Amino acid sequence: MWSFLKWCVGAVVCGALIGASIIKVPTASATSFNSSNLISDGEFVNIDDMSKDEIQRFLVAQGGFLQNYSENSRSAAQIIYDASHGYGDATGSINGITINTSTGTVNPKVLLVTLQKEQSLLSMTTQSDAALRTAMGYGCPDSGGCNSSYAGFTKQVENGAWQLRYNYERAQGTGFSGYQVGDSFCFSDVNGTNCGTYDNKATASLYRYTPHVYNGNYNFWNMYVNTYSFQSAEYSATLTNWGSSAGTGQYPSVAPGGNGANMWITVRNTGRSTWDQNIVHLGTVSPRDRIPGFLRESQTGAPSGWVTANRIGMQESSVAPGESATFSFYMAATSNKSPGTYIESFQLVADGITWIHSNVDIHWDIKVLTQAQQYSASIVSWSTSNGDYTYPTITRGGSGANITLTVRNTGTATWGRGTVNLGTDDPKDRIPGFLRESRTTSPSGWISANRVTMQESSVAPGATATYSFYLAATSDKPTGTYRERFRLVIDGITWLNDLGVYYDVTVN
């Protein structure tokens, strides 16, 4: 069935068979028209650029009969929205390319402009059944005649949407020829022969659908950008890098009532318009313009990055096409924020113009830590009386040995003396078989029978803590080697993961 329904895909030049322009609009070229780059890829496949209600409001604003038109109990707006999202005949798999409800097809704005370009259906005030039968020009070759299998508004919109997305996918596909990104073109139009290259997949798709510069794809561009002010065609972006306080490409963890985390993203301006710091922002989505459930500040005095409750400012004053923009901002958890992982989603927006589609979903998974999760450590160094990284040897009844351990606070909580201790392990809280003293005037380091205290009064995240203690052997201690194991413990909260801290103490 599909091989027949999508009859055009096997043609060498599919665009030559469908999409003949019928209406006549001015053909004079605007100075900003680039025949090789009609619309950005991101904008072309931004299927969520308009909701069904937004499509309906647009149709009402045009004053045409489509605002009240329905087919099989579905409004024109619903049909357009569904086709954009891959429903009905706008789905199928051919030549290794699958288009369905997961991928969607093309931006509803692309479908709306095509309806006007082909049959003036947006501005037509009196219903025309003839125009509805060939609404998208699908199955209507330039040579004349239309395939009755695709007659009707729904079939036209769904099949036309599918074809545009198929053209887009094959424009940089292995094993395909013609209408590929980078290919050159020359079309003989009403303004003579016009040549260029397909600079992106969206442009290749539009030319494969309608193989004309004038009257064809210039009309599409002029309507998209000028007639309907779908200025978002001028705005698109590609993600280049992102990260957080945890590192590049890493999601952050924050503690309730803590300093919070910095998040940042760099994006490249892949559109035609220069971004202005006062217009292009990173906006909250899911839903759009929501107020985040976090404090929008750093808690450390650093600039928050937020310009309003749901907008993050661009650091650069302006970003020209091809250049990169940086957005950096902070979020902190309130003291009563429940532990868990929260997804904070964002999208670039040119305020007052359009939401900007990028090549990825922009979001950060922010983990709000439990009290225990706020503590972690890593070993920096250790030494004994016998030297660095050398196990101690002591004499029965002698002065004993000093052992020093330095660890780094890799968590989010500040350590306090008396809270973060070095505890005996294997088993936990055991009483060592040695004297916990130095037999000299030096402090033993022990604060209880199974706890060694931290020398510093407090250790902030990223700083190091030192534990220094003594072990001595009684005069009747049997000779041999004894393994003494330790583990960091936040008393009253949790034991930390085993860092493999142990000392083989040899008794002479």
Interval 3-52: pLDDT, tens: 223 334 333 233 333 333 222 333 334 556 889 989 888 889 989 888 99
In this predicted structure, the answer to whether residue 365 has a pLDDT above a threshold of 60 is yes
Output the pLDDT for position 13.
31
What pLDDT sits at residue 286? 85
The string of pLDDT tens digits covering residues 345-358 is 999 998 877 778 66
Q: Band of the pLDDT at 428, cuts 50, 70, 90?
A: very high
pLDDT in the model for residue 142:
62
Helix ranges (DSSP H) in 65-150? 76-84, 108-119, 129-133
pLDDT of residue 9: 36
Cβ-count burial 278-293 (b if 16+ within 10 Å, e if not): ebbbbbbbeeeeeebe
Least confident of 229-233, 449-453, 455-459: 229-233
Mean pLDDT of the chain, nearest integer: 88
CATH architecture for residues 237-369: Sandwich (2.60)
**Structure tokens that stand for 141 in this block:** 């070759």
Is residue 210's pLDDT more than 60? yes
User: Does pTM top 0.85 for this prediction?
Assistant: no
Look at residue 431 and tell me whether its pLDDT is greater than 80.
yes
Instruction: Give the range with max mean pLDDT: 266-270, 363-367, 411-415.
Output: 363-367
Between 359 and 325, the higher pLDDT residue: 325
Q: In this structure, are residues 87 and 101 in contact, taking their beta carbons and an 8 Å threshold?
A: yes
283 compared with 22, residue with greater pLDDT: 283
| Residue 274: pLDDT over 80 | yes
Q: Output the pLDDT for position 323.
A: 92
Average pLDDT over every residue of 152-168: 96
- So what CATH class is 374-507? mainly beta
Give ranges for CATH 2.60.40.10 in the chain: 237-369, 374-507
Q: What is the DSSP letter of 272?
A: S
**Does residue 54 carry a pLDDT above 50?**
yes
Average pLDDT over residues 473-480: 94
Of 31-35, 252-256, 410-414, least confident by mean pLDDT is 31-35
Give the pLDDT score at 355. Answer: 79
Instruction: Decide if 455 contacts 404 (C-beta within 8 A).
Output: no
Q: Cα–Cα distance between 417 and 409 in angstroms, integer?
A: 13
Percent of all residues in the chain with a pLDDT value above 90, rounded to a whole number: 70
Beta-carbon contacts of 443 under 8 Å, excluding residues fewer than 6 positions away, are none
Backbone angles phi, psi at 298, to 5 degrees: -100, -20
Q: What integer pLDDT is reported at residue 28 of this predicted model?
A: 32
What pLDDT, on the 0 to 100 scale, is given for residue 193? 85
- Count of beta carbons in the 10 Å neighbourhood of residue 296: 18
User: Does residue 366 surpass a pLDDT of 90?
Assistant: yes
- Structure tokens, 110: 């692309």
Which of 273, 267, 213 minimizes the C-alpha distance to 32? 273
Decide if 271 contacts 357 (C-beta within 8 A). no
Q: Give 363-421 as a DSSP string.
A: EEEEEEPPTGGG--EEEEEEEETTEET---EE-TTS--EEEEEEEEE-SSSPEETTTEE
pLDDT attached to residue 65: 97
